[in-house]
């Protein structure tokens, strides 16, 4: 049995990955070894009622080199500090990574097998050993729109995102909840009085969220009661790094040349806890009937769901509250826009910890071992 090294398994992506791997029986195909960057020597996780190895040192190149396959959800700093050393040490195994650090390397493939199994198969046949999960919003957009991309119907896409706090990590999700609690606490007594003036309440909330003591260590600004229209670093062209990933990763995942299909838009952090949503404006290469578009979308993979463009079902099935924890990727609000018959509007929601992070990693493992 091949030896699998698991790194970053107790983080947010790692925990979702562990759940999914246990649900799908993935560990029965491998001999797993668990590593840590901070808890070396402590007890590993319990799998199917059995204890695993005491945690190995995730920076120990000799221990990592023993593995046939490594999955890491530890983050880009870890990848940057270990990957090159491990490769130079003569590691011959497969490296599967959730972090963005290696995505655009020429010897790495971005994995999203319902969309680019052909690209992955070609890479496996040509001996590529590095496989990296895509940016969460890009992967979720492609899970929803791949049918249209594959039929070469898309001239360009503009995506405005509504990204959950958990996309920024565990600490940020906690901070959002603490911010929400602080806002409630500052007007708790006024809310209990049904005669209190709502604009006085708003003023008190506004003063609370702009006070120096308001908890913003992680987001650096209030998110509860607000939105943050910048995610990741600044690029020289005025995009945020998150916005830059839209075009570069979409084209790489689809196996196209870097700038074949333009993808751009604003990426915005909002106060949902889990699930990224996206409002899409799509310029089609030709006029295609909405009913045909819906058929093309829903036939592409087993997880995409077309939601009828009606209010009730949209508010029921096209929200983070409904989609969180589910593998299905709904897309709705599909309609032609006033700009003309080649302009399509749509809205999609997906769990960024599942198809946006953990699921492509475990499915890549299964391509290697079963
Ligand atoms: P995370 O929750 O912050 O976990 C990363 C590591 O932090 C853990 O593996 C763990 O490593 C350490 N850690 C320290 N204190 C911890 C605690 N109290 N509980 C759990 N872990 C703790 O990071 P993440 O959100 O999973 O992201 C991991 C990678 O996936 C990043 O590269 C990220 O960009 C990428 N990604 C994230 C998402 C998302 O939605 N969050 C989506 C797609 C990709 P040790 O056990 O070694 O200490």
Ligand 1 mean position to 274 CA, how many Å?
15
- For atom 12 of ligand 1, the residue with the nearest CA is 11
- Mutate which of 13, 167, 218 for ligand 1? The one with the most ligand atoms within 8 Å of its CB, which is 13
pTM for this entry: 0.96
Which tens digits make up the pLDDT trace of 316-336? 999 999 999 999 999 999 999
What is the reported pLDDT for 48?
Answer: 85
> In the predicted model, what is the mean pLDDT of residues 137-154?
98
- For atom 15 of ligand 1, the residue with the nearest CA is 11
Ligand 1 mean position to 228 CA, how many Å?
22
What is the reported pLDDT for 4?
Answer: 98
The minimum-distance atom of ligand 1 relative to the CA of 101 is: 32
The minimum-distance atom of ligand 1 relative to the CA of 13 is: 26
- For atom 48 of ligand 1, the residue with the nearest CA is 38
Residue 175 to residues 180, 181, 235, Cα–Cα distance (Å): 9, 10, 26
Which tens digits make up the pLDDT trace of 108-124? 999 999 999 999 999 99
- Residue 197's φ and ψ, nearest 5 degrees, are -80, 125
CA separation for the pair 366, 370 (Å, rounded): 5
What is the reported pLDDT for 89?
Answer: 97
When pLDDT is cut at 50, 70 and 90, the band that residue 53 belongs to is very high
Ligand 1 mean position to 321 CA, how many Å?
23
Residue 292 neighbours by CB under 8 Å, 6+ apart = none
Which segments within 140-198 are labelled E, that is strand? Answer: 154-162
Write down the residue that tokens 């929601």 correspond to. 349
Ligand 1 mean position to 72 CA, how many Å?
10
Ligand 1 mean position to 169 CA, how many Å?
6
The minimum-distance atom of ligand 1 relative to the CA of 136 is: 43
Tell me which DSSP letter residue 48 carries. T
Q: Is the pLDDT of residue 57 over 90?
A: yes
- Provide residues with CB under 6 Å of ligand 1: 8, 10-14, 36-39, 58, 73-76, 98-99, 136, 166-167, 169-170, 352-353, 356-357
When pLDDT is cut at 50, 70 and 90, the band that residue 40 belongs to is very high
Q: How far apart are the first and last CA of the chain?
A: 11
Encoded tokens for 160 = 């405005």
When pLDDT is cut at 50, 70 and 90, the band that residue 257 belongs to is confident
The minimum-distance atom of ligand 1 relative to the CA of 14 is: 26
- For atom 16 of ligand 1, the residue with the nearest CA is 11
Which segments within the chain are labelled E, that is strand? Answer: 2-7, 30-36, 46-47, 50-51, 56-57, 69-72, 94-97, 108-111, 130-133, 154-162, 263-264, 276-284, 304-306, 329-337, 340-350
Please list the active-site residues.
136, 276
| 127 Ramachandran zone, left/alpha/beta (phi>0; psi -120 to 50) | left
Q: What is the mean pLDDT of the chain?
A: 97
- For atom 43 of ligand 1, the residue with the nearest CA is 357
What is the reported pLDDT for 237?
Answer: 97
When pLDDT is cut at 50, 70 and 90, the band that residue 269 belongs to is very high
DSSP 303-347: SEEEPPS-HHHHHHHSSHHHHTT---EEEEEEEEETTEEEEEEEE
> In the predicted model, what is the mean pLDDT of residues 17-42?
97
The answer to whether 348 touches 278, Cβ cutoff 8 Å, is: yes
Residue 11 to residues 104, 151, 352, Cα–Cα distance (Å): 24, 38, 14
Residue of 54, 53, 46, 14 lying closest to 31 (CA atoms)? 53
- Residue 100's φ and ψ, nearest 5 degrees, are -85, -10
- Mutate which of 40, 44, 73, 273 for ligand 1? The one with the most ligand atoms within 8 Å of its CB, which is 73
Ligand 1 mean position to 8 CA, how many Å?
6
What is the reported pLDDT for 298?
Answer: 97
| 200 Ramachandran zone, left/alpha/beta (phi>0; psi -120 to 50) | alpha
């Amino acid at each position: 049995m091949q030896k699998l090294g698991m790194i970053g398994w107790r983080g947010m992506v790692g925990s979702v990955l562990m759940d999914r791997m246990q649900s799908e029986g993935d560990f029965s195909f491998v001999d797993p070894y668990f590593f840590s960057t901070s808890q070396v020597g402590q007890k590993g996780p319990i799998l199917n009622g059995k204890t695993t190895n005491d945690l190995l040192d995730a920076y120990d190149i000799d221990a990592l080199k023993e593995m046939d396959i490594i999955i890491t959800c530890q983050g880009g700093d870890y990848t940057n500090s270990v990957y090159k050393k491990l490769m130079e040490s003569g590691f011959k195994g497969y490296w599967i990574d959730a972090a963005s650090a290696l995505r655009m390397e020429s010897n790495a493939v971005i994995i999203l097998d319902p969309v680019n199994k052909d690209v992955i198969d070609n890479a496996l046949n040509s001996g590529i050993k590095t496989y990296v999960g895509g940016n969460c919003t890009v992967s979720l957009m492609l899970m929803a729109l791949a049918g249209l991309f594959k039929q070469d119907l898309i001239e360009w896409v503009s995506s405005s995102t509504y990204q959950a706090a958990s996309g920024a990590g565990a600490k940020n999700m906690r901070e959002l909840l603490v911010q929400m609690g602080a806002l409630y606490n500052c007007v708790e007594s006024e809310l209990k009085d049904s005669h209190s003036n709502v604009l006085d309440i708003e003023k008190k909330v506004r003063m609370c969220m702009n006070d120096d003591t308001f908890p913003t260590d992680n987001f650096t600004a209030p998110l509860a009661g607000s939105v943050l229209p910048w995610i990741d670093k600044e690029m020289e062209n005025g995009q945020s790094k998150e916005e830059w990933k839209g075009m570069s990763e979409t084209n790489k995942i689809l196996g196209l040349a870097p700038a074949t299909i333009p993808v751009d838009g604003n990426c915005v952090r909002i106060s949902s806890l889990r699930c990224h949503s996206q409002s899409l404006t799509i310029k089609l290469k030709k006029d295609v009937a909405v009913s045909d578009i819906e058929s093309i979308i829903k036939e592409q993979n087993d997880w995409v769901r077309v939601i009828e463009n009606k209010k009730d079902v949209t508010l029921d099935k096209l929200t983070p509250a409904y989609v969180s924890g589910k593998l299905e990727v709904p897309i709705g609000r599909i309609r032609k826009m006033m700009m003309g018959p080649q302009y399509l509007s749509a809205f999609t929601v997906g769990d960024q910890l599942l198809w946006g992070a953990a699921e492509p990693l475990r499915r890549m493992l299964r391509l290697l071992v079963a």
